[in-house]
Every structure is written in C-alpha cells, then in structure tokens.
Structure 1
C-alpha cells in the first residue's frame, strides 16, 4: 500500500540532477515556464472576456501575443541561447520536422498573413517550454505548474460565487445544455473542465511536499468543480488516465510486457467513457446529432481532407480566417460559424494533410508514449504523471481540438509532456552516472 496519497514511496519523487539550491538559470527558466502557462491558463481567458472580438476574423490580440513574446525573450536571454545554440537540440527531431512542415504549409495557405501569426505564436511557445523544462528540471517544472493550477482552481471557485458569468447563463449561446454549467473565470466549461482534471493528475502524481489531508481536500475540490462543469470528455478520461499512472508506478518501464496490456485496457475504458457513443463515431454520417452535433462537423472535415490529402489547407488556415475560410465552401449551416472541428486529429488533417497528421501523431503522442514505457532511466513518479497527462490529452483531442492550436491549454500540456520525457531521461542518465551533484549540474 502506498504511504502517500496515490504515489508509492519506493524512491524520491524526482531525482535531483543539480545542486539542492537552484542556480539562477534554473530559477529564470522556471519563471519563463510559469509565464507561458500563466498566459494560457489565466490571461488568455481574462483578455478575451474583457475584450471579446470577432470570432471569425482571425485577428490576433496584441496583448496576448506580447505576453508570450515576453516569456520567450526572457527564456532565451536568461539561458543565453544565442551564445549556446546547442540548447535548441533538446527539441526532438520529430518535433522539429513537424514544425518545419507547418512552416512549409504557409506557401499554400489561403490567408498566409493570419497563418503566419498563428504559427509564430505556436513556435515560440514550443521553444519556450522545451528550453524552460530542460533548464529548470522536471521537479521544479512540475511544482511550478502544479502551484499555478491550484491558484487557478481557487480563482475559478471565487468566480463561480461572486461573478454571475462564472456559470453559463441562459441566452449566451444557442446551446441550452450549457446553462448552469460552471466555468469560473474561464471562457467556457470546455476549458474549465480539462483544467480541473489535469489539476487532479498533478496532485495525484506530482503532489509530493503537500500534506496528505490537504492534498485530499484539494483533490476533492478539483473533482467537485470538474463535476459541476459537466465536461463529459474530461470526466470520462480522468479515470483511465489515473489508472494508467498507477500502473506505471506499479510496474515502471522495466516491465513493458506487463504495462502494455494495461495501456490497451485504458484505451478501452476511455472509449467507453464517451457515454456509449462509439458506434456513432464509427458511423458518424448516419448520426449527425451524435456527440453534441459533431456528427455534422466531422464528415465535412473528412470530405475536405480527401480532396486535399497531401497539403491540406495549410497551418491555421481552415477555421477563423474570415470569408475565405474553406469551411464556407463546404457548409452553410451553423458548422461554418465554429472555430474548430472538435477533433484535434481531423483538424490537423484538414490543415496539414496526411503527412502532417502522421508527423503530429508521431511527434506528440506515439513516440513519446513509446519512450515512456521503454526508457528505464525515467523516474517512476515522473513517468506516471507524464503518461497520465499524455493519455488524457491525446484522447481529449478525439472530441475537442487542441493539437497544434497555438496557446490552448491542453496543447501546452502536450508539449510539456514531450519536453518532460526528454528531460527526465537525461536526468536519470546523470543520476546513474554516479557523478556528484555539482558535476551533474555542469554536465547539463
């Protein structure tokens, strides 16, 4: 039995590859990481609530973009990247290839100016997260994000009880099912729900240092908030994500043959968690009202992808680019007014074609997942958190879109997972090297 809530005490929660007292570079890197996630989890929602704009225009928000650029410049300058370009090598080759394909796709984009802005934002966020996690280390990175998530949870509760719009109100959209669902200060319950679920994962596998009873209370608070959002996807995915994290803790990457069957089981549970609508997904053309109307959206995306299998529309060039958006040539209904296709993989397919989808799935989901269950250098507690996040985010993209979507929170966590896996592996290798802490820090 575990002596601490949801984690086994067989080893320290995170291997310290550097000295006990963080260096200035580690502190600055942590600040840069905090800045990116703060902009996504807090400021993105505050800015768009205070300054709502035309959802179909594709225009960017200067304040929003400036925040990410500032975090990027801070991280680049603090880590002295211009004088140490080799630091960029922490970004995996598969991820670089994906970004290169995105940039190439601008050459056939319908609105390259809008796509360019979106891709710049995506690229600087990716670079910032990889550099910051690599220098701050997994332990400090996890702690920074966990504490921010807890602050967001508190702020969401405050908003529910003191701000009328902390709950979805009648008449704010055409979907009456939203009325009464909690969203806190966030734009939509589809943002608030996943954030609460991810908070639970960070507490479950990254909550060392928090009193057990305090942790139980925080988990209960996050779980209740998640329930009140009525975010079915997040509710359905939380359990398999937790189960897979516990499985990783129990077996680790040293027993791959035992872990893989549990992974398959988690996949089955996740699919069942969608409320028994798997048949509707398989036969989506016959059930347009399935999955909250997604049956009317996905066939359009598939039709466009089949017509443009190699190129797609170009990065960020299918939705929200004004009257030239390709969706207007395919649908005249409410579908044309949407901002995404509610499926990250189909949206990636329509933008980047099958080559882009393959590269995205490989770089963000398949290769990191394989490394997690085979690399024995990754510490079990760290691996459990990263694997639970990977499963949650990967399956979340089956009914919502965040994959490669600029600063959407789930996408940032997907990038964090890939960066964390690489850093955890390097930390494990340094710990096994037997070098003293000071020399390990120099080796980084």
Structure 2
C-alpha cells in the first residue's frame, strides 16, 4: 500500500506540525516557542471563524427588499475587514507553509481572478466595484486562513469549536438581552415573519442556513472526539434552525447529512456524489421546473402550501427572461439587481412582487449567469460546486482526511441545494457566502495535504 506523502521533516518534527505547515523556517527559532506559535494559530483561526459567523455589525435587521449581502457598504465593515485582512496576511506569511499558498495557483482559481479583474475593468462605477471585490477577496482569504493556520487537525477543531460557540452565544444571548433585535418584528413587506428568530443575523433567511452549517460543525466535532461540545453545538444550531421557521432550510439540512453519510455507508465517495447529483436534479425540477410544469407546481403547493416559494417564482421568471440579453458575459458583477437595469423598468403590476426593488434573485445559479454570463458563470460554478466534488473524492482516499472532508462536503451539498432558493455567491462578507467558500477551500486543502492524524507514524 502506498502511504500518503508526509510533508513534515527536520526541526519542525518536534513541534508536531501538520503537513500544512511544512516549509516553515524561522531565522531565529528560539525567539518564539512552538507552544506560543501553536496558541497564536488557534486564536487567530478561532477569531477568523467568529468574525465570519458574527461580522462586525451584528443585529442589523433587513427584509427581503433591503438585504445588502453582508452590509458591505458599511464603513465599519470596510475598515474592519481591511484591518482583519492585513492581520491574517501577516499571520499567513509568518505561520503558514509556502506549499499551502502555492496550492491556490490552480487554473480555476486563476481564471476566477481574471473574471473578477474583468468585472472591475468593465464596471460602470469602478471605485465601488473595487471596494466590493476587495471585501470579497479579503473574506475569502480569511476563510482560507482559518483552515491553513492551525498546526494540526486537533488545533483546528479547538478553533472551530470556539468560533461556533461564540456565534451561538451571540445569537442566543441576543434573544435574552435584546429580543427585539434578535427576532423579526412587524415588516410591511414580510408580516408573516414576525416573531421568528434571526439572532444576530440580518434576516432569518441568513440565520437559518448559517445555523445549519454550525450544526454540521457539531456533527464533525462529535465524530472526532469532542462529543459533549459537538453535541451542544449541534443541538443549539438545529433548534435555532427550527425557530427561524424556514421549511426548505429545515428540509435541506437533514437531507445533506444523509447524502454525505452514504460515503461511509457504502465505503465509496462516489455513492455520496451520485446521491448528491440525483438530489440536485430533483430540487432543480421542484423549483425551476415548477415554472414550466403545472403538475409540479400544484404538488409543491400541496407539500409546502405555497407554489411560488414566497414569491420567488416571479423573480426566477424575470431572471430567465433577462439572461438572453447578455448571455455570454452577463450584466456585470453586482450590476443587475439594485441598478438601473432593473430600476428603470416599468412597474410589473401583473407580478406578485415588484422586482425593481429586490436586491437579488433568490437563486444562486440564475444570478451567477445574470451577473457573469455563461463564460464567467461556468468558471464560478466549477470553483464553487463541481471542483469540490472531485476534491472530495480525492480527500476521502486519504484515511486521516475522511471525517473533515465529510464535513466540508456536507456544507457544499447544503449550499448547492439552498442555491435554488437564495443568492450568496461572491457576497462580500456575508456569513453564508463565507461558510460556503470556507468549505470550498477546506476540500481544496484536504485533497492535497493530510490534515488528520498520520495513520502511518514514523
């Protein structure tokens, strides 16, 4: 049997570093002890996780017509995330392996960088586009750093537990201390949401999915020895999901768990991937397919009590009608919804929603093509969904990586299913987007490095 390659050697062996840390060489190693290095990496990773899950402006409410995708226009967020990005950049230069950083130079990531640069160059307002793209890239870098900085999988688990606990404490604490902010009040646009939990998040449609991800963290922690802490995180996250009142999110959550667990049940990653693709096709038929099939539409109404998915079908029909106007390159990143491309249209009296004042189309796939076109959209779909499937198959071939790969793929599966109802791609510092890209980078690293315990100790 061929052993997975070991990347730990030399004087670093005594520091018990993970393969991610191979290549570190300080000119005066005695200045900083291995213990202090390890603690610094755990603290930074936990802080990064908490920052992604909590943001710099918690308890800022919004409705479906005023969501801002992470409040990226806030001065507090702009300055705060720039400062955080600088801290993590310095930390990565000092604490992370050059091999890890070099692993990002893949064709798909480089093509994505070209697409972002093209979007900036062609933007009607380059200054605001640069700010938006910079915030998005910084968020992605922080997501990558939270995985790459810890010295071992055990340290990563500690950081993950601490970050998730901080987010749960913020949301549950908000329900006690500031219940008016932590729950939905009356909204003229969404009166049906009054009383539903949203915690420190801007909306229940963000709170529910992110809490699902936190519950997935709990499953991983339980499987890797943190039984009590993992169980508490799982139960707290799952309860919060139920209290957000989101039927689809509550349904996709256990479905994502069952899909990924099939890899362990059948002993093959292909079983989970096949189940994922079949489920993805089924959800596509149940959502976008309902626009073309009356039978599916009435079936959805029987199951959910609403064939329009809370008015989303109006947005999907409109999105599909606009894609042919700019099929190849799209309207530009962040340049369709909330712009004159929509504002200047006549009021749609015949539609359930006035889509002129909606900030996104509540469908990741349609909005990706609307913004980036077929060319850019194909690259982004590869980076966010297709590439991670291949990385998951590779990661599970490394025995020590199987549990952590399952966690990351569970998040990808959940995000892919939710993408038929929500939009969060490249959404600056939005928590749901950051959790998605966190899983993308996690599988990228798990496919290339051994993250878990070495099953062949030397």
TM-score, normalisation: structure 1: 0.80
Contact kept, 8 Å, 1:29 with 1:131, in 2: the verdict is no
User: Partner residue of 1:393?
Assistant: 415
**1:248-302 deviations in Å (ceiling 9; x for gaps):** 33345xx355444433454467669xxx656425559x97971111111122222
Segments ≥4 residues shifted beyond 6 Å = 54-59, 81-86, 286-289, 429-433
Residue 447 of structure 2 aligns to a residue whose secondary structure is helix
Instruction: Tell me whether 1:42 sits opposite 2:42 in the alignment.
Output: no
Structure-to-structure mapping, 1:107-256, within 5 angstroms: 107-136=121-150, 138-162=153-177, 163-170=179-186, 172-207=187-222, 208-212=224-228, 215-252=230-267, 255-256=268-269
Distance 2:72 2:171 in 1: 27
Distance 2:163 2:75 in 1: 24
Higher relative contact order (CA 8 A, sep 6+): 1
Shift of 1:428: 2.4
Contact kept, 8 Å, 2:136 with 2:427, in 1: the verdict is yes
Distance 1:289 1:335 in 2: 18
Structure-to-structure mapping, 1:248-397, within 5 angstroms: 248-252=263-267, 255-264=268-277, 266-267=279-280, 279-283=289-293, 290-320=308-338, 324-330=339-345, 332-333=347-348, 334-375=354-395, 376-377=397-398, 379-397=401-419
Distance 1:149 1:97, change over 3 A: same
Shift of 1:403: 1.3
Distance 2:47 2:110 in 1: 23
Return 5+ residue gaps in structure 1 as ranges: 1-14, 437-444
Contact kept, 8 Å, 1:90 with 1:134, in 2: the verdict is no
Shift of 1:216: 3.8
C-alpha RMSD over aligned residues = 3.5
Residue 225 of structure 1 aligns to a residue whose secondary structure is helix
TM-score, normalisation: structure 2: 0.77
Distance 1:215 1:368 in 2: 25
Contact kept, 8 Å, 2:136 with 2:428, in 1: the verdict is yes
**1:277-334 deviations in Å (ceiling 9; x for gaps):** 56425559x97971111111122222222101122122222234xxx43122446353
Distance 2:376 2:42 in 1: 31
Contact kept, 8 Å, 2:291 with 2:317, in 1: the verdict is no
User: Partner residue of 1:61?
Assistant: 74
Contact kept, 8 Å, 1:244 with 1:387, in 2: the verdict is no
